[in-house]
Every structure is written in C-alpha cells, then in structure tokens.
Structure 1
Amino acid sequence: MKITILGSGTSQGIPVITCNCAVCQSDDARDKRLRVSVLIETGDKTIVIDSGPDFRYQMLRANVKDLDAIIYTHEHRDHVAGLDDIRPFNYLLKKDIDIYATTQVQDNLKREFSYIFSEIRYPGLPQLTLHTIDAAPFHIGQTEITPLEIMHYKLPILGFKIKDFVYITDAKTISDATLEKIRGCNVLVLNALQKEDHISHFTLEEAIAFAKKVGAETTYFTHISHNMGLHAQVEQELPENMKLAYDGLTLSCE
C-alpha cells in the first residue's frame, strides 16, 4: 500500500503574505505546507482522506490520475472545502466518486454544498455517492478500514486504521479504547499543531507523549502550523523514530 502526504499543514497560524519570518522565507520545500490530506493507493482503489481548500492543486501536484473514494474525518472547512473539485474525475473517469462520512459530516456537506444535492440536476455538477460510516469497520474494495473515535475539543471526529497504517488528525483527546486498537502499528501519522498549548489540537509535546504510548515503528507528525518553526530545526528535537511529515512524503505500509 502506497501512502502520499498531500498536505501536512493547517489554516491555524498561517501568516499574512508580507510576513518576513524564517518559515515564510525558508528555501526548504518541507516548510511549504498545504492543508492536511493523504492519498492511499491500495492496489485496487485510490482513496483520499479529506479534501480541503488545496485539494485541486494537491491532486495536480501529485499527478493523481484516478480517484475512487474520499473519506472524511470531520466537517471543518479546512478538511472539506475542496469537494467540488471532484468534477474533473467525474468527467475523465466517467464515474461517481464514493464519499464516506458520518451522518454529522454528511449533514454539513449538504448545507455547505447544497447545489450538489439539489433535486435540480444542473449539468456538470459533482457526481458522488454517499456512504454512511460510524465506528464500525467498512471496506473500500478489498481493503478494510477501521474508524477511530477521536475528540477534537468537544467535537467527535474520526481517525482511520488501514492495514498497519494509522492516520489521526485534529486530535486533542484519544481514549484508551482507541489507543488499544492502534498500539504497535507500523506507521502512525498524527497531528501536532505547535509547541504552545491549544484548546483543540495536540501540541508537539502531547503528540510525542501519545506516540510513545502507541509505540509505532515510525511516527510522522502532521497538521503542522506556521507557529511550529522550521522543519529542519524541529526534527532535531524529536525522538529517533519520530519525524515531521511534509508535503509529497511517500510511505509504504502493508
């Protein structure tokens, strides 16, 4: 299974265009972070988790030629705003795109993208098929996907375990029950917003502490804000088996 980090950043802490700080002026491509998303190629299906505002460019940049499904972690705009941009895949592939989301997320999509779900079918609208998910495992093609119940402050959201790969973003609280489902996984991708305290996201210190409990072979931190600092400097502060994710990072996991 091939995994590509399409985006490792967040809307939190994005500076103004005229900012002259070290991160904005960095020549290191790893400091150029689009909104968080991940591409998963299982062998028989091509799946994306979350389609934020940068979705169109991310898919072009990664040269993605096929798309079967999008899975949503939750309904915040930085995770869903790119839904309309499935249109080219509808047109080129002559198929609907399967959308997997909780009823809560689906209700939000129907409000935010009401024209997509209107009874009046305007030519060229995004074509999708909704699939309702909850905490129960489900399949996309031959691959089983296990939802992971996470709390994003007071908002229930989902992470996902796919084979021996675990993807969690926007977490602030993770139960012991969820921890047991993922303990000892091969690859963990986990949110770490910044070093300072935050009401709804893991800080870097909190993410490291949780990653140690999981004990993954390798952990990559994602959903990184501008406030985290330079990639090269922060990585030097991390435990040996933990790294910062970056846009375009590719991984393999069975």
Structure 2
Amino acid sequence: MRVTLLGTGDATGMPAALCDCEYCEQSAPRRRPAVLVESGDTTVVLDIGPDLVDQLQQTETYQVDAFFLTHFHRDHADGLLGLLQTLRSGTETAWNGAGDAHSFDLHMTETATDHLRDSFDYFLDLLEPTWSPTGVSIGELEISPFAVEHMRPEYETVGFVVREGDRAIAYAPDMESFVDEPPATDIDLFVCEGSPFVGLNHGPADELSAAIAKLDADRTVLVNASEHARREHTHELEKNAQAAGAELGADFEEYTIQ
C-alpha cells in the first residue's frame, strides 16, 4: 500500500495569498490536506480541497475509484467543484462509451451532503454521494470512518482508517480528540492534525497529544502545518513535531506500508 501526502498545509495554504513574508518566501509550498492511497489497481483520495486539480496533476493521478470527505469545510471540500466540471465537460476517465457515466464514487456523511446541497445543489444532479458508517470495501482496500472532535455537531467530522490485509493507515487532518476510543491499535501510519505544534491551533495541545498517544501508531506524521501562521521556519516546525513525538509532513512525500 502506497500513501502520498497530497497536502500538508492549513486552510490558508503556503504561501499565503498577498503575502511576501520571509516564511512564505523561504518555505516549500503547502497545499490543503489530502492523501492519496494506492494498492494494486485501486486508488482512493481522502479529502477534496481547493488544490485537488494541482495535487492530482502533480502525482499523475488520472483514475480514482473513490473520493472520501472528512467534513464540509472549504479547505477540505472545495475541490468538489473541479470534479463537477470534469463530470460536465468529460474526460477519458470521466465518461464511459455512453457519455453519461462517471468512473468514481463519492463518500461523505449525510451532514456533509446537506451542506453540499445548501452550497452547490446543482452538483447533486450529476453525482449523489453515499455514506456507510461502518465503512466500504473498494478493490483491495477497506475504508472505515471514525468520529473526531472538530466543530461538532454542525460538522460531523470524521477520520478514516484504510486497510489492506494487516497493513493500516489512519487519516484525521482536523481533530482535537477522538469522540470515542481510538479506531484501532495496529496503525502503521497516522496522518494527523498537527496545528497545536506546527500551525494555527485548532484546540488544546494536551488533548491532541493524549489522542496521538492512545492511537499509538508506528509512525505519526503531522499536517495542518503553516510556517506563515506560526512565524517559524520549517526546521523549527520539524523540531516542534519531534518534541510531540511525531514527524512534520511535506507535500508529495510518499510512504510504503509493507
């Protein structure tokens, strides 16, 4: 199972708009959080932010079996509009021979679908999202959601565990803590909220540290990072992540889970 960090930044992104500060000028770009997971002929993408087109182009990803959304905040969901335009205009991937079908599925909570309906009702004319609280199997992958604390109940924010056999990753880019117990105890890689340590704080650092410790993944990589927001350079964010018992993520970094 191959995992690629498509984005490791916060809602602002790096560099920030209209900013020429030393942190924006001297830091590598950080797109909004998303993860690409590949196994054999199966490809899924977790989160669908405004940088989606660039992220997929950079990784030469032209076929996706399914997209999964953690919650309907714009930095995680605005890439839906790019998918809509693809469905409308058509590509070799998006259209079948009949010219009226798409080749990917979209999974999001019912709450997120309600937000989508309120914001972009016309999207649902082309692609109706589905949701299974117990998870779904797609090719060789099993994808299961777990509830996290982040602006509930208005946003029913979740993370995802992706499994292939005895290999597993967890992804929760926006969270303060788990709503219930951690989703598993055998996680190889946890791509995790890191803003209390490497970005603009979403919540108490002690709560997040306790959640990371409970999950006890073999390797924890922090996203939601921003040199701009922290007024710190990348090497300083790396030290902050290490002090939290984790690593700082970087856009397009790849991990192979064996």
**TM bracket (short chain):** 0.7 to 0.9
Q: What is the deviation of 1:92?
A: 1.6
Paired residues of 1:137 and 1:147 also in contact (CA < 8 A): yes
Aligned position for 1:122 = none
Q: Does residue 172 in structure 1 map to residue 173 in structure 2?
A: no
Deviations 1:53-77 (A, max 9, x none): 1111111111112112110111111
The residue that corresponds to 1:248 in the other structure is 252
Q: Alpha-carbon deviation of 1:130?
A: 2.3
Q: Is the 8 A contact 1:195 1:204 kept in 2?
A: yes
- The answer to whether the 8 A contact 1:192-1:203 is kept is no
| Residues 1:52 and 2:79 are matched in the alignment | no
| Paired residue secondary structure (2:175) | coil
Return the letter of the residue paired with 1:131: T
How do residues 80-119 of structure 1 correspond to structure 2 at under 5 angstroms?
A: 80-86=77-83, 87-88=85-86, 90-93=90-93, 94=95, 95-96=101-102, 97-118=104-125
The one-character-per-residue Cα deviations of 1:1-42 (angstroms, maximum 9, x if unpaired) are: 111111111125874423323x2121x43xx10111111112
Alignment of 1:44-193 (within 5 A): 44-86=41-83, 87-88=85-86, 90-93=90-93, 94=95, 95-96=101-102, 97-118=104-125, 127-134=126-133, 136-154=134-152, 155-163=155-163, 164-177=168-181, 179=182, 181-193=183-195
Match of residue 218 from structure 2 = 217
Q: Given residue 222 of structure 2, which amino acid in structure 1 is its aligned partner?
A: F
* 1:253 shift after superposition: 1.9
CA, structure 1 residues 173+215, in 2 after alignment: closer, same or farther (shift >3 Å)?
Answer: closer
The answer as to whether partners of 2:198 and 2:225 remain within 8 angstroms in 1 is: no
Normalising by structure 2, report the TM-score. 0.81
The residue type equivalent to 1:130 in the other structure is: P
Amino acid at match of 1:158: V
Measure, in 1, the Cα distance between the counterparts of 2:4 and 2:150. Answer: 24
Query: Residues 196 and 6 of structure 1: is their aligned pair in 2 closer, same or farther, counting only changes over 3 Å?
Result: closer
Q: In 1, distance between residues paired with 2:139 and 2:122? A: 29
1:20, 1:202 → 2: CA distance?
26
* 2:220–2:246 CA contact under 8 A, matched in 1: yes
CA contact (8 A) 2:197 2:237 kept: no
Q: Distance in 1 between matches of 2:222 and 2:194?
A: 6
Instruction: Kindly tell me the number of residue pairs found equivalent between the two proteins.
Output: 238
In structure 2, C-alpha distance between the alignment counterparts of 1:115 and 1:161, rounded to whole Å? 30
Q: 1:43 to 1:194 in 2, by over 3 A?
A: same
Q: 1:80 to 1:13 in 2, by over 3 A?
A: closer
Q: 2:235 matched to which residue of 1?
A: 232
Q: 1:191, 1:115 → 2: CA distance?
A: 32
- Structure 1, unaligned stretches of length 5 or more? 119-126
Task: Give the TM-score normalised by structure 1.
Answer: 0.83
CA distance in 2, matches of 1:62, 1:204: 33
The alpha-carbon deviation at position 198 of structure 1 amounts to 6.9
**Whole-Å separation in 2 of the counterparts to 1:138 and 1:157:** 18
What residue is the counterpart of 2:98 in the other structure? none
> Structure 1's 116 and 105: CA in aligned 2 closer, same or farther, altered over 3 A?
same
Q: CA RMSD in A?
A: 2.6
Aligned to 2:41, what secondary structure does the other structure show? Answer: coil
